[in-house]
Structure 1
Amino acid sequence: MDTGPLISFLAVDLLLVCVPGADWAYVIAAGVRGRSVTRAVAGLMTGYALHTALAVAGLAVLVAGSPALLTALTAAGAGYLIRLAWSVLRRPAAVPTGDAGEAAAPEGFWRGAAISGLNPKALLLYLSVLPQFLVTRGDHPPIALQTAVLGALHMACCTAVYLTVGTLARRLLAARPRAARAVTHTSGAAMLGIGALLLAQHAL
């Protein structure tokens, strides 16, 4: 696969990943509340691995072409975000010390997988952005292989950015309980707003 399309995709994808959204809000909340940022990010990447597999198999196109199915996924994802946001806003705990947050690591993993796996915006990303960088003419690898490579690049970008965001949130706010609670409230509000926006977009 030519390096040109890979570099171009990497540049565009990195810009998109750096735009704060539900994933950012989740890893910030995990970092501030003392939970395992690594497990939270691993959960998010599990969801994106599912989206990559769907794109490679061609099922993403089928989902995008079915308004009813896409709406159902949107409602499920938005409902989960709103439920998680309420949980964060209801218990905006400050950063615990030691390993207190590690007990919730498995829960953080599966929550992360649900957030990215049920996010229809991620599915549309694979449909609207990724296909523009696939090379269909000449002697090039199969489309499925190219899709898998670009999907892996996207996951690598997400991993690097989200680990950095979550770790910085934990380190910078560990000694600032008030700031930690404020950031937790902001993250919860962001997830709540994103969930409500997703529902509103498909209700219109």
Structure 2
Amino acid sequence: MDSALLLSFLAVDLLLVCVPGADWAYTISAGLRGRSVAPAVGGLVTGYAVHTVLAAAGLAVLVAGSPALLTALTAAGAAYLVWLGWGVLRRPGTPGADGTAAGAVSGPRAFLRGAAISGMNPKGLLLYLSVLPQFLTTGGAGRLPVAVQTGVLGLLHMGCCAAVYLAVGLAARTVLGARPAAARAVVRTSGAAMLGIGALLLAQRVATL
């Protein structure tokens, strides 16, 4: 693939990843409530790996073209965000001396939650359908198959997510770890953001029915 095209995609993708959303909210919450942010970020990246596989296999187009399936995916993902956000609001926790917080979840659970958030997020699917195809090239000798190009761009997106979300989670722990009141307020804000984003997704899907 053309290096200039890859750099262009990388620049656009970084801008999109740096826009705060459900992933950011979960990363900040996990960073302040758990011993390590790595499992949560690993889960988020794994969810995007699922999107990459779907897109490379051509299944993403089929999902987007099925209103019933897309509605079910949106509803499930939105309901999960609402449930998770409400749980964070009820038990925000405060980082302790060992870096953990009351209400902190285990590494495997943090991983699974992250994978569910990004894997069930229709916004991720739409990114692969609307942004990624603009950087695919077809025709001409020596061109990589579209599925391979999709995989390469998907890996770049996953790398961007890993770098940005790790930085966000670690920054939250470093800056707020010794400020229990501020940390609790930020965690509650993150929970409210997850709840609000989930409710908005549900409302948008109901409005299109």
- Alignment match, 2:79: 79
- Give the aligned partner of residue 159 of structure 1: 162
The equivalent position to 2:203 in structure 1, one of 182, 195, 200, is 200
Would you say 1:186 and 2:162 are equivalent positions? no
Per-residue displacement from partner, 1:59-109 (whole Å, max 9, x unpaired)?
000000001100000000000000000110000111133264686111100
Partner of 1:44: 44
Give the TM-score of the pair, scaled to structure 2: 0.95
Counterpart amino acid of residue 40 in structure 1: A
| Contact 1:28 1:169 (C-alpha < 8 Å) held by counterparts | yes
Select 2:123's aligned residue among 121, 124, 137.
Answer: 121
1:4 aligns with 2:4: yes
Map of 1:108 onto structure 2: 110
Cα distance in 2 for residues equivalent to 1:193 and 1:103: 22
CA-to-partner distance for each residue in 1:127-146, whole Å, 9 max, x for gaps?
00000000013121000000
User: Matched residues in 1 for 2:62 and 2:157: separation?
Assistant: 21
Q: Give distance in 2, aligned partners of 1:164 and 1:84.
A: 22
Query: Which contiguous aligned blocks of 4+ residues in structure 1 show a shift greater than 6 angstroms?
Result: none
Alignment-mate amino acid for residue 43 of structure 2: G
Asked if 1:91 is matched to 2:94, the reply is no
- The alignment partner of 2:106 has SS state of helix
Counterpart amino acid of residue 130 in structure 1: L
Letter matched to residue 3 of structure 1:
S
Structure showing the higher helix proportion among its residues: 1
Q: How many residues align?
A: 204
> Counterparts of 2:34 and 2:126 in 1: how far apart (Å)?
32
Contact 1:43 1:109 in 2 (8 A): yes
Contact 2:33–2:100 (CA under 8 A) maintained in structure 1: no
What CA distance in whole angstroms lies between the structure 2 residues aligned with 1:14 and 1:136? 24
Structure 1's unaligned 5+ residue stretches are none
RMSD of aligned residue pairs (Cα, Å): 1.2
Aligned to 1:67: 67
